Amino acid sequence: MKGSFFVEEKENLERLDIVFNSRYPSFSRSYIKNLIDDKKIFLQNRNVKAGEKVKTGQLVTFDFEEIKPLDATAQNIDFEIVYQDKDLLVINKPQGLVVHPCSSTKDGTLVNGLLYKVKDLSGINGVLRPGIVHRLDKNTSGLMLVAKNDKSHISLAEQIKNKICKRRYIALCDGVFKQDEGKIETYLERSSSDRKKYAVSDKGKIAITEYKVLKRYSTKTLVEFELKTGRTHQIRVHCKYINHPIIGDDVYGRADKNLNGQLLHSYKIEFLHPITNEKMGFSIDLPDYFKNYLKKLK
């Protein structure tokens, strides 16, 4: 999809993403923001932020390959529903399960399983991601929030954005941490050498991760991480950045022949119920493959 248009007087001083969305309402705001971040939409031939205020007469140009929607079908996928009411679910995603369909994985995902097990899901993210408020990487296991209606979806998404929702992870990292606790704060953006990866940069989106050492082994460290922001691959990239990549991470560290992916588990989540405002919290144990790996360490 390629084209251009001039900003009209009625659009003066409006945000770029909102203006683009008004011209092309079939695209979600989040999708448009990603296009702007990926340098697919320009203002006056300049790459700007999604919130840039446009002016009358300015030129907006765009050039991107439109992703065609795929119809997600209901499939009996194995995952645990930890909690469920009429507004939301808390699920335990197993390692190896992709969250939603994409160009490379059209079925067999968590979304396919949700459509099989749950009658109502929010529609904010469209046919490919019904109910999905936030994601976990394919080989990251653990707790996820799923919205059953749009009101809940908006509330939960805002809680994540405003750091009201607290998410904690446990990971086994390579090397021995010197400090008992600390904070990693950087900017992250897509890697210039591999668009599927992310990297620490002097620009991009702010990413903040706090950590606390749980146990030290002879050559590895068991660490609790808390996300203060929710960037793609954030913990994995930050672990690589401080030279303690997560064990089994074949993208930001190295593969382990005894594992099917990184030892990273979302074990605890706290939030306010989107309708009742009740404080809610859930935690789950490490999966068996993670515990068995730890038993073999000295």
CATH of the domain at 47: 3.10.290.10
Report, as an integer, the average pLDDT of 73-99: 94
In a domain, 232, yes or no: yes
Alpha-carbon gap, residue 23 to 5, rounded angstroms: 9
Question: Catalytic pick from 17, 37, 120, 137?
Answer: 137
In a domain, 106, yes or no: no
Alpha-carbon gap, residue 179 to 221, rounded angstroms: 11
Residue 35: its H or E element: helix 29-37
According to the model, what pLDDT value does residue 195 have?
78
In a domain, 33, yes or no: yes
Confirm whether 137 is a catalytic residue: yes
In a domain, 271, yes or no: no
According to the model, what pLDDT value does residue 66 have?
66
Percent residues over pLDDT 90 in the chain:
68
Alpha-carbon gap, residue 255 to 233, rounded angstroms: 16
The CATH number assigned to the domain holding 248 equals 3.30.2350.10
| Chain centroid, CA 184 distance in Å | 18
According to the model, what pLDDT value does residue 139 have?
95
Q: Tell me the sheet residues that pair with 46.
A: 43
In a domain, 35, yes or no: yes
Interval 24-42: pLDDT, tens:
876 777 778 888 988 999 9
Alpha-carbon gap, residue 249 to 287, rounded angstroms: 17
According to the model, what pLDDT value does residue 294 have?
97
Q: Tell me the sheet residues that pair with 146.
A: 89, 132
Interval 94-149: pLDDT, tens:
999 998 766 666 778 998 999 899 878 876 555 556 678 888 999 999 999 999 98
In a domain, 139, yes or no: no
The model's confidence at residue 263, banded by pLDDT at 50, 70 and 90, is very high
Q: Tell me the sheet residues that pair with 167.
A: 269
The residues near 106 (Cβ < 8 Å, ≥ 6 apart) are 70
- What's the total number of domains in the chain? 2
Phi-psi region of 227 (alpha: psi -120 to 50; beta: other; left: phi over 0): beta
- Is the Cβ–Cβ distance between 100 and 129 less than 8 Å? yes
Report, as an integer, the average pLDDT of 268-281: 97
In a domain, 138, yes or no: no
Domain, as residue range, for 193: 169-265
According to the model, what pLDDT value does residue 104 have?
65
The tokens for 286 are: 């490490």
CA gyration radius, the chain:
21
The model's confidence at residue 181, banded by pLDDT at 50, 70 and 90, is very high
Alpha-carbon gap, residue 218 to 250, rounded angstroms: 22
Report, as an integer, the average pLDDT of 50-67: 90
Q: Give 195 or 45, the one with higher predicted confidence.
A: 45
In a domain, 260, yes or no: yes
